[in-house]
Chains A and B, each alone.
Chain A
């Protein structure tokens, strides 16, 4: 009985993660600008991976494997915003038509 409860909790959280990935791919095709697509990518990178790996933690129980999976969640949550910020910085600096999409403040670039 306790195994079935664990199975259904795993199934529900895994379904949430898969739904986040489907939303991510849908947003990748629906949105029209690169930074909006970066937002859609951030949904899957944080929520989707967190849900899927947390479902695997519940499925495996409390052992060394679940500790490694927890470290995987921690690592991805720390490094995914860094890479997204890096890409958005390149986009702002290289797109010559950036002013069509993004409104900068009047004191942008001043200290």
Chain B
């Protein structure tokens, strides 16, 4: 048994296990009760795919696949950040660390520079957010967030 054949078996076994794990994480992302679970599963699938490409670059002895792995890492990071910022913009979050009230726009919305998107969302979100006087001021219970979706857990 030569060394090359042993490497072939080792990398094939590792790639098989990783493919099975990606399928299991995909099931979790389907049954995940809230959207945070789904974004988290997207992040984990990205990590596993990066490892898969890194193994393939050694298994096939192709050096350029390593560059593809680095680009995939950057794209995976960008995917999570963009999905999270879109989710923030849709829900019109209240940020208590910045001393914001419930009806105001968080400062991150203007920082992203998408004025047309935030203008289109403002009528819909402000209609659902109740007035600031009727909100509870209890910070420990955190019931002041407008309840868009009901968590299943």
Contact = CB atoms under 8 A, between A and B. Distances in A.
Contact of B37 (A24, A34, A93): A34
A68 B21 contact: no
A interface, size bucket: 35 or more
Interface in A13-66: 14, 17-18, 21-22, 24-25, 28-29, 32-34, 37-38, 41, 44-45, 48-49, 52-53, 56, 59-60, 64-65
Given A65-B66, A75-B74, A94-B91, A28 B28 contact: yes
B73 A96 contact: no
B117 interface: no
B66 A76 contact: no
Contacts of B80: 83, 86-87
A64 B66 CA distance: 10
A38 B139 contact: no
A107 to B, nearest CB: 10
A34 B55 contact: no
Nearest to A45: B47
B10 A49 contact: no
A91 B87 CA distance: 11
B40 A34 contact: yes
A44 to B, nearest CB: 6
B80 to A, nearest CB: 4
A72 B66 contact: yes
Contacts of A109: 96-97, 139
Nearest to B87: A90
B14 A18 contact: yes
Contacts of B57: 56, 65
Given A83-B77, A87-B36, A95-B34, A49 B151 contact: no
A56 B18 contact: no
Contacts of B25: 25, 28
A52 B47 CA distance: 11
A4 B74 CA distance: 35
Contact of B54 (A32, A56, A75): A56
